[in-house]
Amino acid sequence: MNRFARISGTGSCLPPLRLTNADMAARLAERGIETSDEWIVERTGIHARHFVADGVFASDLGAEAARQAMQAAGVAPADIDLIIVATSTPDMVFPSTAAIVQHKLGIAGCPVFDVQAVCSGFVYALTVADAMIRTGSANKALVIGAEVFSRLLDFNDRTTCVLFGDGAGAVVLEASDTPGILATDLHADGKHVGILCVPGHVSGGAVLGDPLLKMDGQAVFKLAVGVLEDAARAVLTKAGKQESDVDWLIPHQANIRIMQSTARKLKLPMDKVVVTVNEHGNTSAASIPLALDHAVRAGQVKKGDTLLLEGVGGGFTWGAVLLDF
Ligand code: UT7
């Protein structure tokens, strides 16, 4: 009997503090830096983002998203036998945020680890979980994207600080005799490390180097639009499907212009694209599962739909997952 991995439940969590572009403009004005709702909306499609309060960590958001996903799947914490958290904003240097999430969920014993692929983290984590389920290493996995990017933002840099937000999304991925995940495609090219990075590190009790986010937005933009098309075509080819078979494109939510470009290249109308960047900003590894859960709960994505998930980000990393929901 063939063994596949299938999403059986989704969940998400946004911290309650919502900042509009006007709130961000007021915050930056206190530092003598100018931005506007008009600029942010026109260049990115972002209207608002959520930020965590002090003392709230990626594990808190991830655990809540996971609880919702387990409830939606009708799965108890004791049934979970693998937890993967995609994050670039872990609670601690170590242990993994996945270990902290595991404990917060009252689970013990199963393997847990983090995946660090920045904004591609969720497609990387989903690909690893799919492989572990298909080979029999796991039966019911929690795959979580959880981020608190507000902690990495340089509020003196208007070109980046207005773009990002905090949040988490999660899925339960279960072994199934029907697919499920149809095809996956992952890539990276480390020569682009410098165009999107947080260069600081911890050494001898101090943070050395700059621990705030740096991005060459135009370089990232140009690379992103090319590789997203390639990854989309790769999973469609691997699965023997056409663009027209895709019910919903759920891309990484960084910039509406990148999503429009990908949709155009794939000849998909924008009403087949799940868009949450307007309300969430760029939540890095959390953006795809957050968008998926919002689309499920809004009644857009339905059981049986074919979904194309696509991530791109620091590393440079990129990839796609094609699945029947
Ligand atoms: O999650 C990983 C993936 N990340 C991404 O996909 C991000 C990709 N990049 C982007 O989304 C876009 O490049 C940005 C949104 C970051 C920037 O948009 P852009 O159209 O490439 O703008 P730009 O960098 O060319 O800047 C245009 C102008 C500049 O002014 P001058 O030099 O033309 O006078 C900037 O200084 O806009 C100015 N600017 C701003 N103005 C008001 C930059 N940021 C702001 C701001 N408010 N927040």
Of 50, 255, 282, 294, the catalytic one is 282
Question: What is the phi/psi pair of residue 134, to 5°?
Answer: -65, -30
Closest ligand 1 atom to Cα of 161: 48
Peptide bond into 316 cis (omega under 30): yes
pLDDT of residue 92: 97
pLDDT of residue 243: 97
Residue 252 known to be catalytic: yes
pLDDT of residue 230: 96
pLDDT of residue 262: 96
pLDDT of residue 232: 98
- CA atoms of 211 and 197, how far apart (whole Å): 9
Of 13, 110, 119, 161, the catalytic one is 119
Closest ligand 1 atom to Cα of 252: 1
For residue 113, what are its two tokens? 């680890």
Closest ligand 1 atom to Cα of 258: 6
Q: Are strands 317-324 and 181-188 parallel, antiparallel or unpaired?
A: antiparallel
pLDDT of residue 203: 97
- CA atoms of 67 and 144, how far apart (whole Å): 11
Q: How far is the CA of 214 from the centre of ligand 1 (A)?
A: 12
Of 50, 252, 280, 294, the catalytic one is 252
Ligand 1 site, CB within 6 A: 35, 39-40, 43-44, 119, 158-159, 162, 217-218, 220-221, 224, 254-255, 258, 282, 312-313
Q: How far is CA 1 from CA 8, 172, 178, 321, in A?
A: 20, 22, 10, 23
Sign of CA dihedral 70, 104, 80, 135: positive
Q: How far is CA 151 from CA 56, 165, 195, 205, in A?
A: 11, 10, 19, 19
pLDDT of residue 119: 98
Can you tell me which residue has the tokens 């915050």?
A: 27
For residue 214, what are its two tokens? 């740096």
Print the SS3 string covering the chain.
CCCEEEEEEEEEECCCEEEEHHHHHHHHHCCCCCCCHHHHHHHHCCCEEEECCCCCCHHHHHHHHHHHHHHHHCCCHHHCCEEEEECCCCCCCCCCHHHHHHHHCCCCCCCEEEECCHHHHHHHHHHHHHHHHHCCCCCEEEEEEEEEHHHHCCCCCHHHHCCECEEEEEEEEEEECCCCEEEEEEEECHHHHHHEECCCEEECCEEECCCCCEECHHHHHHHHHHHHHHHHHHHHHHHCCCHHHCCEEEECCCCHHHHHHHHHHCCCCHHHECCCHHHHCECHHHHHHHHHHHHHHCCCCCCCCEEEEEEEECCCEEEEEEEEC
Decide if 308 contacts 183 (C-beta within 8 A): no
Residues constituting the chain: 325
Residue 119 known to be catalytic: yes
pLDDT of residue 48: 98
pLDDT of residue 90: 98
pLDDT digits (tens, 9 = 90+) for 9-20: 999 999 999 999
pLDDT digits (tens, 9 = 90+) for 73-111: 999 999 999 999 999 999 999 999 999 999 999 999 999
Q: Which residues does the chain have with pLDDT short of 50?
A: none
Q: How far is the CA of 313 from the centre of ligand 1 (A)?
A: 16
Q: How far is the CA of 277 from the centre of ligand 1 (A)?
A: 16
**Atom 48 of ligand 1, residue of closest alpha carbon:** 158
Mind listing the domains of the chain with CATH numbers? 4-176 (3.40.47.10), 181-324 (3.40.47.10)
pLDDT of residue 72: 98
**Atom 4 of ligand 1, residue of closest alpha carbon:** 254
pTM tops 0.85, yes or no? yes
